[in-house]
Structure 1
Amino acid sequence: MCLPKKENPDLVCFILFSSLTMMCIDASVQVEENAISDKNLNAINLEVITMIEKELEVYDLISLVFLLYDVPDTALDRLIILQRISRDIEGSHMNLLFDWALSAQGRPTWRQQFLEALTVCQLYNVIRKLGFNVSTIKKLYSSNEDSPHINPMKKVLYQLCENMTSNTFENFKKTLVSFDMNVLQYDTCELVLLELMSQKFITLRLLNFERSVPRCECQIEQLAKIIDREPELKRYATILRSTESKLNVKLESPSTSVEKPNLNITDNNTETCDYNEVFNMIEKLSLEDIPIDLKSDRQPSINLNDRYKITNEKRVGICCIINQEVFYPSKESMEYANENALPKRDGSTKDKVMLEKTMRALNFDIITRDNLNRNEMIAFIQEVLKKVSAEDSVFMLCILSHGIRGCVYAADSIPIKVDYIQSLVDEKQSLRGKPKVLILQACQEDDTTLPLVPDSPHNMRKTDFLVCWATAPELVAYRLSSKGSFFIQILCEIISIRGKREHLLDIFTIVNEEVVKKCTLWGVEQAPIVNHTLRKKLYLQMCG
């Protein structure tokens, strides 16, 4: 066995060239390979490899290095340098293919391996320039899963990279960070996968074997579990596991794990019927639409002692909005979550914009962030609380996300207890005695798979809080991707109409009536719920 001269033989346990590590070569494949012209094959030399490299785009070169290099550490180190200099120096390819070919010449099939890599990357123009018939080469390598030269698992991983959108790739990296994988600096999926190989997060290992049995042991289950939670890539999780089973010397079951019940996907994004009429009705709301028995019981004579004081009408307070629209799995969430990723909350940005517009009109200072993981979300709330000044009369926190009973989800699919969020807010000394409002557009369905028992929102122990959920426990909250959620849209509309005259508890009572009425109209059940420890009436404008 001849090892590459420029690579570390101590790392050979990771990945060796397929000609030494793959399944036995099918006799028909040997016949077809023998039919390839020796003259054309022999024309592939170091000089030709150098010329080919100069004509390649950087992303094609990265793919070829990923497929061809034996040792992931070597490939990763060199591609990191390529990634850096290619941003500044056009045409800097660093002789990566030349160095590979130089080290691979001791193997009689290195040219066939190069041809197969070109085929996998669909570089047919290069194959044609080398004098080969593209149809013949495609037939030989594209249709043969047990090809002798490129590791089939690497081919699957390459296809995974090719089918990742930019958004999915960013979510993929964020998920890996939760596994302590330092991958955020990488621009391409191939570099991320090489990092995973280098850190033994996934492995392709050379074994002692007989020629007639599979020759490469793979461990890719952790990667497959992550991919399984991305709906766009779910089929690749199946392909990865299938390929692993074929390649492993012994078919072993994945590491034992307790199967957990599926999480109910909450904060329903329903498109089963046309809700445009509902939102048209919301837009047409006026004072006359509100039933007379739901109007405020405020008397014409104003008692300033029964209400919270608004110190500065030009700055009522701070309204912090956290909009969780895009979710990705994390290591912690995967320990108890179901096999499906939390879906994107299409339409949530509509709610965010409506809240910003509504609260800005009431002279709130608006601070907004999108798609925060658990740690970022907690840090952001703490950061905003530091900005609360003595002139702020009200603190409002709006969270738009998926949820289960007593909890809201961060972007990394980890639930955060609302009671804990309340504790963060309650710790702010300058807010003691001032009203603190939490508006939660999230569901409250029960979930028995969580390793925690969330406090019921009814058991409030902190004073001067008002917590309003989009729906009551055990129910879901409905949202239309093109319009936003029933609850937030109706809430903002009522506040715009009533916010300068009614106190907030009355406003929420009106909102509850309107949400229930509109949802009933369309045959769905949703009932907002308000819990509070307010000691006075809360008006969002200065009265008197």
Structure 2
Amino acid sequence: MIAGSQSVDTDTVSGGTLGVEPVMDRLKLSRIDEELESSEVAALCFLCRDVVNRKRLEGVGDAKQLFLRLEEKGLLDNSFFLSQLLSTIRRTDLLNLLETDNSQPEETDASPALSAYRVMLYKIYEDMTQENLEKMKFLLSSKLGRRQTEASNTALDLFAEMEKTGLLSDTNLHELLRVLRELDQQLVLTVQRHMDEAPRQQMRPAPPHVSMDDPRVSSTSQPAQPLPPFLSIVETQPSSEGESTSPDADSDQNTPSAFDTADDYALTHYPRGYCIVISNEKFTAPDLKNRGGTREDEKTLQAVFTRLGFTVYIMRNLTAKNILYNLRTLGKSNFMNHDALVVCVLSHGEKGCVFGTDGRQVLLRSLTEPFTSHVAPTLAGKPKLFFIQACQGSGYQGGARPPPPMPIPSSVLDMLEDDAGPLPNETVPWDADFLLGMATVPEYKSFRHTSTGSIYIQELCRQLTRSAESPEKEDILTVLTRVNREVGKGQYLKYKQMPEPKYTLTKRLVLKFV
């Protein structure tokens, strides 16, 4: 902080600029002030309540005044703290004003981080409807007083009043949970996630390339987009298939420790990471039929994993060579700002392999190898999920004293197919934090409906949705156990199908909608 900055008063601010020589560029701060709305300034003040005395924040009417308060505390010695603030209120467009020197704001040992507790409260404020706000004011009126609740125009105002009366703090969330349970279960989950992720993780600024025009995928459409960043060089590679790629979004902020000792994997970024869907529908190999129904699997996976917070990319009709090339290129990416990786492969297969559209084999080992810790060190300690919809043999599986079969209309039976094809004897080399969800156990076929999608993928997505919407904290293995049970109940062309998860996960993975 510059000498004498402690004595700066708001009365020295005039003419749209700040009054003394800055630690940060005053012109930049003034331009940020001009862009911020009054509601955003109020939100920034709320987020700063743990680092600036509450009374010093009273009466702050614009961002210039807030900047002076932050400067008094040395919080503008560099742009790190201000970048956190702007990122939290989703004004990533203004981050560009701080980063015109092409360098990202740097965190130092002396740089305070935004309170994860306040960020959690801000998310509740963002997600709260006006109707729920009025209900919340009513529920709190007996404890806060009628005058205080009526004067609260936003959820942040209510939170501030609750803090004044001791009803709310980082270590006292009981009253907040009680009220939110009467309003919206999703708001309750926001608080529970915060409690589950203790000890607090630090907030980090969004990278400068992130813009407000977030091209996250819609669950109902797949617009044509440029190639994903990790495949930017694939355009120069020869391809015999005319592959098409339908990407959806870029990654974002925040890096958890790869060696977190908590029982659950940390999921603190948005997006959580990439979800890659390799979907082979049309085959040039004469002995492999086209896979009708795979587009339905694509749509379902895209919808579910987008809601789970992943950036979804769909790659269609890849040869074996291009499957390997794309995954190896992806494995060279920097995953520091990712929490997890999901890869779904929808194709024909045999034991230990899947097929490219040219009929050549891709060993399961080759799918996972680019993401092992020695090849992709920034994925170390993070869950890597692979879901394989493909046959793993040419046999048909029967059942011993099965429960009454699920009735399937005769018109549907004609539309069931298997994803089989010729047979190496390869196994997947396991490394820590992998999960491989197979549509079937080795030696047997898996089934796909040519209109509604594969039995396994559709059931997987149903159970992921059920778990993500449940207030229970179910981990992925619980979900896959239900998938096994539900798929195993059915009969498909008079045969059975039993999925098989294999894993070396070292923590629980709990996936919730974001």
Whether the TM-score (by the shorter chain) exceeds 0.5 is no
TM-score category, normalised to shorter length: 0.3 to 0.5
Larger helix percent: 1
TM-score by length of 2: 0.42
TM-score by length of 1: 0.40
